Amino acid sequence: MKEHPASGGGGDVVEVSTEKLRDVFPDGEIFAVSDDAALLEEASRYGLTSVPMDEADGLPAEANVVLFLRNHLLSKEIRGRFRKARVMFVPISSFDNGLEPALYTLRLTLLTDYAAAVERTRRWIDDLRTLTEPIGFVSKGPCSSADPGTNFVCELADDLTLDAWASPTIGTGQWVGVGSYCEIAITARPSPNRPRPFTIDGTAVASGVLAARDPRYDDAGDARIRAAHELRRELNRRAPIVLRLEGGVLTDLTAGGEDYTGALREVTDPKYGGHALELGLGTNQHVLPHVDWTVNSQLNEGAGPVHIGFGDGMTGAHMDFVVAAATHHFGAPT
């Protein structure tokens, strides 16, 4: 096992190795497969066996694969090439395919404590199965005029569908996105015939915001997603980012004294009317000391204890607002 020093999000030096991936792939060689030579070179320095995408057909049966896509979005053809492998998928191109964000995502993938993340996921699932009260999130740190502090309450429906991976290991023929290790996602689209799985009321202060596209995006969505990346950069420059919601609908989004409520509705598709489509419970706080909130990487998504998502990534951007400094409690505030 090789270790390699790398710069963390705060400029610190951390030891990066393949050790934590052994909770995912306990036995056998671990292959880094990518469509990008620079990522493969870096993965080799960290101790992974690097294989270019166009040579992936030569992998042994039931191979352990960490798949980093920098230049391609996920497709049926790509999935089909790994039908018999054990795959952890890292969707760099869906967020930001620049070299620095890609290398940053690779580092955080190796720094993630998968066993600890799964343990948090299981605790959350146990709590959610028996939950009869709302969940509240409140700030841990001091407040100010620019940062009024996080204080919001989530009401959850009785019947929830959760997107998460609750096993440390990946079996033969299984395909798991790295995000499923790092968060529990509760998602919804507004529908008059379907009850909402959650509502959110109150104020959330985000340390960073992400913008992503789904591989099924349409032409109108492409234009909105491009605009969303500009909005994301501006919001991050002006952080902290303050959101206010009523009944799960965004009523106010400000950063640096500027109002961005209308801008967010536009880039995430106005048809959703500012409805929050995702409540994400982060399970990857282990990487928090190494997170740079200005980077558009999926590995930032589960690093905070909670994030709120807007848009579907197809007809407009999917944008996640990550609350990094908050604790949760059960029951409405007294």
- The domain locations on the chain are 3-111, 116-162+182-330
State the Cα–Cα distance between residues 14 and 3, nearest whole angstrom.
10
Q: How confident is the model at residue 281 (pLDDT cuts 50, 70, 90)?
A: very high
What does the pLDDT average to over 215-225? 97
For 59-97, how does the pLDDT look when each residue is reduced to its tens digit (9 = 90+)? 999 999 999 999 999 999 999 999 999 999 999 999 999
3-class secondary-structure state, position 158: coil
Strands (E), the chain: 3-7, 13-17, 30-34, 49-52, 64-68, 86-90, 135-139, 151-156, 162-163, 175-177, 183-187, 198-206, 208-212, 241-246, 249-255, 258-259, 278-282, 306-310, 318-323, 326-330
What does the pLDDT average to over 98-117? 98
Q: How confident is the model at residue 332 (pLDDT cuts 50, 70, 90)?
A: low
Query: In the chain, pLDDT over 90 holds for what percent of residues?
Result: 84
Short-list 133, 122, 106, 150, CA closest to 298: 106
Amino acid present at 334: T
For 308-317, how does the pLDDT look when each residue is reduced to its tens digit (9 = 90+)? 999 999 999 9
Q: How confident is the model at residue 16 (pLDDT cuts 50, 70, 90)?
A: confident
Q: How confident is the model at residue 17 (pLDDT cuts 50, 70, 90)?
A: confident
State the Cα–Cα distance between residues 226 and 204, nearest whole angstrom.
25
State the Cα–Cα distance between residues 152 and 37, nearest whole angstrom.
44
Short-list 201, 210, 256, CA closest to 231: 210
Could you give the dihedral angle defined by the CA atoms of residues 10, 15, 21 and 27, in that order, rounded to the nearest 10 degrees?
Answer: 180
User: In angstroms, how far apart are the furthest CA atoms of the chain?
Assistant: 61
Query: In the chain, pLDDT over 70 holds for what percent of residues?
Result: 91
Which CATH architecture best describes the domain 3-111? Answer: 3-Layer(aba) Sandwich (3.40)
Short-list 276, 319, 332, 325, CA closest to 303: 325
Query: What is the DSSP code string of 289-308?
Result: GG--TTS--HHHHTTSSEEE
pLDDT at 1: 42
What does the pLDDT average to over 227-244? 97
What does the pLDDT average to over 200-227? 97
Amino acid present at 85: A
pLDDT higher than threshold 90 for residue 53:
yes
Q: How confident is the model at residue 212 (pLDDT cuts 50, 70, 90)?
A: very high
pLDDT at 300: 98
Q: How confident is the model at residue 15 (pLDDT cuts 50, 70, 90)?
A: confident
pTM of the model: 0.93
pLDDT higher than threshold 60 for residue 8:
no
What does the pLDDT average to over 314-324? 97
Q: Are 164 and 121 in contact (CB under 8 A)?
A: yes
